[in-house]
Each structure stands twice: as C-alpha cells, then as structure tokens.
Amino acid sequence: MSSPTKTIVVTGATGKQGGALIDALLAAPGGANFHVVAVTRSSAGPRAQALATRPNVSVVAGDIDDPEAIFAQIAASGKGPVWGLYIVQVNSDAEEAQGRALVDAATAHGVRHVVYSSSDRGGPVKSAGNPTRVKNFAAKFHIEKYLEAVAAGSAEATKMTYTILRPVTFFDNLTNDVHGRGFARMWEQMGDRKLQMVSTRDIGWFAAQAFLRPEVYTNVALSLVGDELTQAEADLAFRQAVGAPMPLAPCPVASAVKFFLKGTVGDMFRWFEEEGYGGDVAECRRLHPQMQDFKSWISANKGQWAQQ
C-alpha cells in the first residue's frame, strides 16, 4: 500500500460529523492517500483512543479556541504540511470567532482546501444571503462569508479552495434518551409542516468526497438533505422498524425547552415552521445514490430502541 501524500486536519473528530468523515474517507477508493490528524480536547478519551488505532490516523490534543497551537503541534510532529482542513464546531457564543481563527490558521499554514460544515438556511440560493435570526445559523453564515473572501484573496501560487456543506436537521438527533424524546416531541409539535433531515453518515460521505474529488466540489456550497417528512410520517416508518411508536417527551417539557432556550432551540423550531430548509433531496441522491432516507436510517439504527 502506498504512503499517504496529503495530510488533513479534522476538527470534531470524536463527534458525529467529523467521525463520519473519517469513516468515509478511510473506506473510500483513494482514501489511503490521506493522513488524518484528528483533533480532540482529550487524547485520553475513549473515542480518541479508538481513532488512534486506525491506519493513517494520528490524534492531536488541542482546543479550536487556539488553532495556532494545533498547527504548531502538527508541524513539530512531522505530520505537516497540512493540505486540507475540515471545520465543524459546536454551537456556542465563540462559534464565529473560532471559525474565523481556523480559517486564518489555514491561510497562515498554506492549507489548500477547507471543507466547512455549516447549516442550510433555505436552500442553495437563499442560504447565501440569509443569516436568519437563529444565532448559530447566523454564526455559520458569517464564517462562510469569511472563508469565501479569504479563499478568493489567497495568493495564486498557494490558492486556497473550499467546500461548504450545509446539512439540514440530523436523523441522529433521534436517540433513545431524554434528548431524543424531546426532539421527537418538538418535531411532532410542528404538525403537518415537514422537516428536512439527513444522516450524519451521509454528511461524512460528502465531506470525504470534497477532499477526494476537488474537481467536483471546489468552491461550491451544497445543501445536504436525505428526506423531508412530518413526525407522523416518520412514526409510521419507526413503528415498522422498531415495532413500537416513536417515544415522545411530554408536551409541557418540549414547550418549556423551546421557551427557556428561545435564543437557540426555540428560534430554530420557529424558523423550521415559518421559513424552513430548502435542500433538494433528488439532487443529493443524484450525487450519492446510497443517501439514507428516514426509513433506511431507522432500519440501520433501530438497535438502540430494541430494549423498550
């Protein structure tokens, strides 16, 4: 087997999207050309330890509040130069500053391709001009604009390119715990309004393709969606797969979460109802025919409800 020729740094590597990218990249034809540097705040954690055992993966401990320190460690370990950077962040007040700092560090260290995991804000055309009033969507809008401007202004000899991925709501929010039941109830409270959804497995597939096939994915933004359905429609598929109804948190709990977290969860669900995502399921499936719809996702993930 040939040695990897390109190093990519993956933030959020122990999380859903970053983890899915690493799985998809390592499994893909051409994946062996990449060495993955997986970023985590705790290299002693079980997920980081599991990553460290995988071929062509090394783990670096770092905080994306300080991307320079992450790049300095990579240079000192001899794993550089860094060719690609995958950016995914958790929602926080620091999100925009972290995103800008990651883009700045990419520029300073000659990174050639940045894949940024953002969020859809009404489809390909609308998202480009619509920060929305949902705080974490707006942070992503501003990071996208910064990335596009920095890439456009980068020197010809070391041109930086980018791919912006704009996933809709994750199927993976549906977990067999209090969070998953709360999510399911808030979805149910949307009534007849359909919600666009996608699996994080498929987000990882697109992120891997963005590194593997720059001729297709350079300087584009893609809304990622695998299905569009009401909670009642999803409940039918859930019953068929699991043999029981989708568990829902009590109504007052879900309403209280939306009320008390109105700057985040509340605004987001209001936005789902008033505006909503605008991804194109058929287009995503054209690019990735194995894209999961809810039925195939629940069939592959029903195990966690097996003990109900």
Ligand X SMILES: NC(=O)c1ccc[n+]([C@@H]2O[C@H](COP(=O)([O-])OP(=O)(O)OC[C@H]3O[C@@H](n4cnc5c(N)ncnc54)[C@H](OP(=O)(O)O)[C@@H]3O)[C@@H](O)[C@H]2O)c1
Binding status of residue 286 toward ligand X by CB under 6 A: no
Q: To the nearest whole angstrom, how small is the minimum distance from the Cβ of residue 169 to ligand X?
A: 4
Q: To the nearest whole angstrom, how small is the minimum distance from the Cβ of residue 18 to ligand X?
A: 6
Select 32 or 79, whichever has its Cβ closest to ligand X: 79
Select 173 or 255, whichever has its Cβ closest to ligand X: 173
Binding status of residue 89 toward ligand X by CB under 6 A: yes
Binding status of residue 127 toward ligand X by CB under 6 A: no
Select 39 or 284, whichever has its Cβ closest to ligand X: 39
CA distance linking residue 193 with residue 191, whole number of Å: 6
Task: Choose the binding region for ligand X from 26-34, 85-93, 235-243, 295-303 (rule: CB under 6 A).
Answer: 85-93
Q: Residue 286 class from Cβ within 10 Å (0-12 exposed, 13-18 middle, 19+ buried)?
A: exposed
Binding status of residue 88 toward ligand X by CB under 6 A: yes
Binding status of residue 276 toward ligand X by CB under 6 A: no
In which residue are the tokens 């001729």 written? 215
Binding to ligand X in span 134-163, by CB under 6 A: 136
CA distance linking residue 42 with residue 54, whole number of Å: 17
Binding status of residue 42 toward ligand X by CB under 6 A: yes
DSSP per position, 40-62? ES-TTSHHHHHHHTSTTEEEEE-
Q: How far is CA 75 from CA 78, 80, 81, 176, 230, in A?
A: 5, 5, 7, 42, 49
Binding status of residue 301 toward ligand X by CB under 6 A: no
Among 7, 169, 199, 231, binds ligand X (CB under 6 A): 169
Conformational region of residue 86, where left means phi above 0, alpha means psi within -120 to 50, and beta covers everything else = beta
Binding status of residue 63 toward ligand X by CB under 6 A: yes
Pairing of strands 113-117, 82-87: parallel
Task: Choose the binding region for ligand X from 41-49, 102-110, 245-253, 296-304 (rule: CB under 6 A).
Answer: 41-49
Please, what is the Cα angle at 295 between 291 and 299, to 5 degrees?
A: 100
Size of the chain, expressed as the number of residues it contains: 308
Binding status of residue 170 toward ligand X by CB under 6 A: yes
DSSP per position, 16-44? HHHHHHHHHHHHSTTGGGEEEEEEES-TT
Which residues sit at the interface with ligand X, rule CB under 6 A?
Answer: 12, 14-17, 39-42, 45, 63-65, 88-91, 119, 136, 167, 169-170, 173
